[in-house]
């Protein structure tokens, strides 16, 4: 195998450092957003997962978030329901099952104003990039999310 050039090795190292910094700042930002609307980080992530992946049973939501099924996930759903961000309903196909669904309008009313300024800043930055750069960035972030999801699954086994 051919050794990477010094320039490539330095670029890879910088990318690794940038990704580490980005991930740390993203976690801290999400925590600050959650606290600003009276939630905790896991609650906010659960809402995001319900929005992106669709409704779930409490057990499925526990698996998505890494919480233990039962008390922890029930308490989280209770908090989110009190905040008006989710609702529970009986599964029409199996009345024994409960389905938790995110309510987008109250979520946007609650956290939308918090995300608004950062969205505007990102959009302004994206306007400075070429289509190819934006496509590459989207691909990079999509792959980073996939790697993280796979690693989370490994850690939870």
β-strands 98-102, 86-90 pairing:
antiparallel
Q: What angle do CA 41, 47, 51 make, to 5 degrees?
A: 145
pLDDT at 103: 96
What is the mean pLDDT of the segment spanning 74-92? 93
pLDDT band at 105 (very low <50, low <70, confident <90, very high): very high
Residue entry with tokens 């050039």: 5
What is the mean pLDDT of the segment spanning 42-48? 94
Task: List, for residues 128-154, the tens digit of each pLDDT value.
Answer: 999 999 999 999 999 999 999 899 889
Rounded CA-CA distance 52/7 in Å is 38
Helix (H, G, I), strand (E, B) or coil at 66: coil
* Other CB atoms within 10 A of residue 72 CB: 14
Contact 66, 152 (CB under 8 A): yes
pLDDT at 1: 60
What is the mean pLDDT of the segment spanning 76-96? 92
Q: Which of 96, 75, 77 is nearest to 87 (CA)?
A: 77
What is the mean pLDDT of the segment spanning 20-40? 94
pLDDT band at 93 (very low <50, low <70, confident <90, very high): confident
Q: Which of 144, 145, 155 is nearest to 15 (CA)?
A: 144
Rounded CA-CA distance 98/96 in Å is 7
């Amino acid at each position: 195998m051919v050794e990477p050039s010094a320039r490539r090795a330095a670029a890879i190292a910088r990318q690794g450092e940038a990704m580490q910094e980005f991930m740390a700042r993203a976690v801290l930002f999400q925590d600050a957003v959650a606290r600003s609307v009276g939630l905790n980080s896991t609650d906010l992530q659960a809402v995001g997962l319900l929005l992106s992946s669709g409704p779930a049973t409490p057990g499925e939501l526990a698996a998505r978030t890494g919480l233990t099924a039962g008390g922890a996930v029930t308490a989280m759903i209770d908090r989110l329901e009190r905040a008006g961000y989710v609702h529970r309903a009986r599964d029409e196909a199996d009345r024994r099952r409960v389905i938790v669904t995110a309510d987008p309008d109250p979520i946007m009313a609650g956290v939308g104003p918090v995300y608004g300024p950062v969205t505007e800043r990102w959009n302004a930055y994206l306007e400075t990039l070429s289509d190819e750069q934006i496509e590459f960035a989207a691909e990079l972030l999509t792959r980073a999310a996939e790697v993280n999801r796979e690693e989370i699954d490994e850690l939870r086994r």
